[in-house]
Amino acid sequence: MIACRFLRGKLRVRIVYVITSLGVGGAERQVLALADSMAARRHTVALLVLRARLDEEWPTALDVVRLEMRRTPWSVLRGLLHGKKFLAKFQPDLVHSHSFHANFVARMLKILRPATVVVSTVHNIYEGGWARMLVYRLTDGLSRKTTAVSRAAAERFVRCNAVPLEKCAVLTNAIELKDFAPNFARRVNTRKEMGVADAFVWLSAGRVVPAKDFPNLLRSFGRVRADDPRAQLWIAGEASGGVIPGTETGAVNGVRWLGLRRDMAALYDAADGFVLSSAWEGMPLVVAEAMAMEKPVVATDVGGVRELVGDDGVLVPARDSEALGAAMIGMMQRTAEDRTMLGSAARARVLREFSMDKRADEWEEFYRSAVKTRP
C-alpha cells in the first residue's frame, strides 16, 4: 500500500533516511540538510541511525530512531529486527540510505520487509575494497536505484561493477547558502581573536583520516613557510583518535590545529584562502562552503572536486606536496584584486550549480518518480 498523500496537487512522500551516525562529518551534514529540506516541503521524514549516540553530533529536530548496532552478529540482527518494526509502523514510501554500512542495512531491511522501496547513495569514490564492491553487486537487486554525489564516484562504482550503469544516477552535493555568506566585520573580529594581523591565513578542514592526507598538506605548507615565514595554516576538524604529526602542541611552525569547530563560517571569513589536500573524495562540502564564502581555493584533483571547482580555483595532482605547495605560493603571489575576483566567481558558481534549494528540487522529483514507478 502506498502511504504517500496528495496535497495541493503534489505528491507528499514518507521518507526514512538511513545513516550510520550523526557524527560531525560532511556526509552526515549533507543527509541532514536534505532531510530538513524535505521536511520543510511538507514531506514526512524520519532518521534511522545505525550507531548509538556519539559525544559530538550534528543537531537535528527531526525524529531519530537509533538501532545501536555494534560489530557483532547478535547486535546486527537485533538492530535489523528493530528497524523492521519501525518501518512497519512508519510505513515509508521509500527508504534512502547513505554510504556502505547504511546501504547494506537498508537492503537487508528490504529482505525483511519486501514492500520497502530502497534508494542507495554513495558519498565517495572509495567506500572500501573489492569485498565491499562485491557486496554492492550482490545486493544491487534490493535497491531501486543507486545515486552518487559526483560523476567521478558514479563512474568508479560502475567501472567496479558495483552498480549497473542503467541503475546509477548522479545528484551532486549541495549546501545551504544562507549559512555561508561573507561578513567583513566577522572577518575582522575573528582575526583579532586569533591574534592575526596581516599574515596570509590558509584554512583546511576535515576529520583526521587517511582520505584527507594531512601529512601531504603539512609537507606542502613547509614549502609555503620557506617562501613566506608569516603564513599560517589553520586546520579545523575532529581528530578521531589521532593527531596530525607536528601539531600536538597546537601551534608549530605556523600550523594551528583547531580541533572540532562549530563556527566554520567565521573561520572561512578570517582565512585568505582554502586548501584541500585529500587523496580521495566524493564531493567535499568544505570546498563548496569555502567557495560560497568567496575564498580562493587550491585543491587536489580527486573525486568530484573538478566538477565542483571548475575553472574557479586551482587544482593539482593528489599526493604531490611540491605541486600543492607551489600552487599555494602562486595564489599568495597573486594580487588581492585577482584573488577577490576568483572568490566572487567561485561563489557565483556555487549559487548557480550547488545550492540546496536547486538540489532539493531534483531530489523531490527523483523521489516522486521512484514512488510512482515502484513495482
From the number of C-beta atoms within 10 Å of its C-beta (0-12, 13-18, 19+), residue 363 rates as buried
Determine which of 8-22, 95-109, 138-152 has the lowest per-residue pLDDT on average. Answer: 8-22
Q: What would the pLDDT profile of 68-92 be if each residue is shown by its tens digit?
A: 999 999 999 999 999 999 999 999 9
User: pLDDT-based confidence at 250, cuts 50/70/90?
Assistant: very low
Determine which of 212-226, 233-247, 293-307 has the lowest per-residue pLDDT on average. Answer: 233-247
Q: Are residues 205 and 248 in the same domain?
A: yes
CA distance 244 to 218: 9
Q: What would the pLDDT profile of 161-200 be if each residue is shown by its tens digit?
A: 999 999 999 999 999 999 999 999 999 999 999 999 899 9
CA distance 273 to 168: 35
Domain that holds residue 67: 5-174+356-372
How high is the pLDDT of residue 249?
Answer: 40
Output b/e per residue, 190-201; b: 16+ Cβ within 10 A.
Answer: bbeebebeebbb
Total domain count for the chain? 2
**Cβ-Cβ contacts under 8 Å for 81 (sequence gap 6 or more):** 112
Residue 274 has pLDDT above 80, yes or no: yes
Q: Are residues 108 and 123 in the same domain?
A: yes
User: pLDDT-based confidence at 124, cuts 50/70/90?
Assistant: very high
How high is the pLDDT of residue 311?
Answer: 96
- Mean predicted lDDT score pLDDT of the chain: 92
Q: Are residues 141 and 276 in the same domain?
A: no
Q: Are residues 223 and 166 in the same domain?
A: no
CA distance 100 to 129: 11
Q: Are residues 335 and 284 in the same domain?
A: yes
Q: Which CATH number fits the domain that encloses residue 336?
A: 3.40.50.2000
Q: Are residues 341 and 306 in the same domain?
A: yes
Q: 232-236 and 94-98 as β-strands: parallel, antiparallel, unpaired?
A: unpaired
Q: Are residues 11 and 160 in the same domain?
A: yes
Q: Are residues 151 and 30 in the same domain?
A: yes
Q: Are residues 106 and 250 in the same domain?
A: no
How high is the pLDDT of residue 25?
Answer: 87
How high is the pLDDT of residue 238?
Answer: 81
* Cβ–Cβ under 8 Å, residues 116 and 109: yes
How high is the pLDDT of residue 251?
Answer: 45
Q: 14-19 and 94-98 as β-strands: parallel, antiparallel, unpaired?
A: parallel
Place of cell 537498508: 106
Percent of the chain with pLDDT over 90: 86
How high is the pLDDT of residue 371?
Answer: 87
* Cβ–Cβ under 8 Å, residues 208 and 238: yes
Q: What would the pLDDT profile of 320-349 be if each residue is shown by its tens digit?
A: 999 999 999 999 999 999 999 999 999 999
93-111: average pLDDT: 98
Q: What is the pTM of this model?
A: 0.90
Residue 1 has pLDDT above 80, yes or no: no
User: pLDDT-based confidence at 9, cuts 50/70/90?
Assistant: very low
Name the strand (E) or helix (H) holding 102: helix 99-112
Quick one: angle between helices 26-40 and 285-292, nearest 10? Answer: 70
Q: Are residues 232 and 154 in the same domain?
A: no
Q: Are residues 184 and 209 in the same domain?
A: yes
Q: Are residues 342 and 361 in the same domain?
A: no
How high is the pLDDT of residue 241?
Answer: 52
